[in-house]
């Protein structure tokens, strides 16, 4: 009789090698048989993060499951605005969607779960200030705190000027101010004149 634990152990090892989470296509390319994958899902050994994206169920709970899921399904996008503020802990807002920036000329990703709000950035604004951070074993492309502040003022009519001002105030309280970087990104986003009085008052 075939030892059922062997393909399961191989699959678990493949998942762990990739941070514990894989999309169906990635798992199959890495050597997990589709039958094994779905059997592990049905047995509760894999947790479904979103459509076609699974994680080992015995791992500690994710701290940022929505960001991880969206980042894996939209690898060319960048976490932005309120989602980035929350990640950097410079907002009291609790984002109910994932805010994602994409290049203006690109096609937005089709993601139904978790909910995603997509913003199209110009080429220069899209490329500026991108950082790679690790969250729950996954790599996230996310804007730096300073770039995020500039973005929030640029999109103040969509997220609220009060959100942008609060983020600037909370950023100041961290006492790790990079004023030159904020000004540089404000110029890239063409909002320096808008931000200037708040920068002079808060920074």
- pTM equals 0.73
Residues 50 and 110 placed together within one structural domain of the fold: no
Mean of the per-residue pLDDT values for the chain? Answer: 87
Domain span at 196: 65-202
What is the arithmetic mean of pLDDT over 112-125?
89
Residues 126 and 175 placed together within one structural domain of the fold: yes
Residues 166 and 100 placed together within one structural domain of the fold: yes
Residues 171 and 113 placed together within one structural domain of the fold: yes
Q: State how far the Cα of 45 lies from the Cα of 56, in Å rounded to an integer.
A: 6
Residues 48 and 72 placed together within one structural domain of the fold: no
Final residue before a domain boundary, out of 29, 56, 83: 56
What CATH number corresponds to the domain at position 186? 3.30.460
Q: If you search the block for the tokens 């790790």, which residue do you land on? A: 176
Q: If you search the block for the tokens 């990739």, which residue do you land on? A: 18
Residues 163 and 70 placed together within one structural domain of the fold: yes
What is the arithmetic mean of pLDDT over 173-184?
89
Instruction: Work out the percent of the chain whose per-residue pLDDT is above 70.
Output: 95
Token output for 117: 């709000």
The yes-or-no verdict on residue 43 having pLDDT over 50 is: yes
CA 37 to chain centre: 26
């Amino acid at each position: 009789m075939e030892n059922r634990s062997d393909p399961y152990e191989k699959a678990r090892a493949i998942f762990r090698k990739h941070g514990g989470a894989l999309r169906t296509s990635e798992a199959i390319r890495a050597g997990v048989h589709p039958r094994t994958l779905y059997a592990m899902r049905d047995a509760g050994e894999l947790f479904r993060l979103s459509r076609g994206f699974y994680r080992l169920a015995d791992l500690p709970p994710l701290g940022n499951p929505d960001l991880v899921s969206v980042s894996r399904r939209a690898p060319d996008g960048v976490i932005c605005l309120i989602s980035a503020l929350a990640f950097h802990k410079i907002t009291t807002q609790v984002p109910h969607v994932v805010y994602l920036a994409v290049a203006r000329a690109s096609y937005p990703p089709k993601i139904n779960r978790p909910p995603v709000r997509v913003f199209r950035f110009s080429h220069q604004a899209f490329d500026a200030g991108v950082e790679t951070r690790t969250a729950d074993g996954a790599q996230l492309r996310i804007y730096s705190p300073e770039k995020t502040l500039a973005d929030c003022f640029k999109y103040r009519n969509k997220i609220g000027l009060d959100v942008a001002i609060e983020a600037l105030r909370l950023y100041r309280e961290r006492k790790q101010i990079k004023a030159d970087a904020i000004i540089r990104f404000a110029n890239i986003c063409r909002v320096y004149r808008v931000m200037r009085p708040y920068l002079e008052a808060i920074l």
